[in-house]
Amino acid sequence: MASERVLMKQGAEAKLYKCNFYGRPCVVKERFKKTYRHSALDASLTTQRMKAEVRAMLRSRMCGIPTPTVYFVDMVSSSIYMEELQDSQTVRNYISNIQNETTDINLAMAVLQPLGKRIGEILGVMHKNNIIHGDLTSSNMLLKGEPSSHDIVMIDFGLSHFENMAEDKSVDLYVLERALLSTHPNTERLFRVILDAYCAANPDGAKEVLHKLDEVRMRGRKRTMVG
């Protein structure tokens, strides 16, 4: 059974707690009720999203993409009990630390290039298997163990779904691109490395996805200009 839970943080959709689950360090993701929605609709949406999140994590693991192990799903409390990755850091923190350590963009890029390649490989496999993450940011990727091993664990599949359309996959990449550039300045080359590795891992579908990505970028620029 689970020990007393300690609140870690709260997001827009859920609260994260730490506890022990039968002696194992555990993170509990609990979706809370949205009072602005009809209670029946809120319950239905919460159930659908929880099921989609767990399915995406399990399918990713079946495809060789590391995700936290799911220990238990409690539909009554809308909670997912999963493995706590103790020896880890977010990719966001890792990139920021590298950039803070040097003002030389070329040197930073040389260090980050293997990481970008690994990210691209993972995303290529995900999209090849029609897994849409829905919230690709450097905060939703964990580096486990030594950073040099580039052992990436994908987390937070709360907005995930399954889709074969190139449009959805291109939006996934666009979200990552915008997140990288807004959080980590001068990472245009890093995203290019990610795309190259993505294409190598998903050769059959990448061309159409990148074509759609250009269209999504154009729509994003138009929205920015219009305001």
Tokens found for residue 181: 């550039």
Nearest by Cα to 29 from 107, 102, 105, 84? 84
Q: How far apart are CA 17 and CA 35, in angstroms?
A: 21
Best CA proximity match to 66, nearest among 149, 190, 8: 149
Distance CA 126, CA 123 (A): 5
Nearest CA to 207 out of 128, 118, 122, 126 is that of: 128
171-194: burial string, b at 16+ Cβ within 10 Å, e else = bbbbbbbebbeeebeebeebbebb
Burial of 208 per CB tally in 10 Å (0-12, 13-18, 19+): middle
Catalytic residues: 135
